[in-house]
Amino acid sequence: MVKQPISMVEEMLPDNLFVRIHRSYIIALKKVTAYTQNDVEIHGIEIPIGKLYKHRINRLAPPS
């Protein structure tokens, strides 16, 4: 558990490797296995994309 706002954590992470997709989630781009406009899948776990973060979908790595 981190006792910092997620926005501070987001600033510390390299933006070419991580992207914030929800007010509660920052994901590693290379871990994305699939995605739609509404959610991201990482190893079978679906994570919702928040309304305010949908514009960041174009930064997601293409699924491998």
Structural domain includes residue 36: yes
> Long-range contacts of range 10-18, CB-CB < 8 Å, 24 or more positions apart?
none
Structural domain includes residue 46: yes
> Rounded CA gap, 31 and 52, in Å?
22
* Count of domains forming the chain: 1
pLDDT digits (tens, 9 = 90+) for 3-41: 889 999 999 999 999 999 999 999 999 999 999 989 999
DSSP structure class, residue 15: T
Helix (H, G, I), strand (E, B) or coil at 62: coil
Look at residue 2 and tell me whether its pLDDT is greater than 80: no
Cα radius of gyration (the chain): 11
Q: Give me the domain span that covers residue 31.
A: 6-59
48-57 average pLDDT score: 90
Structural domain includes residue 31: yes
DSSP structure class, residue 16: T
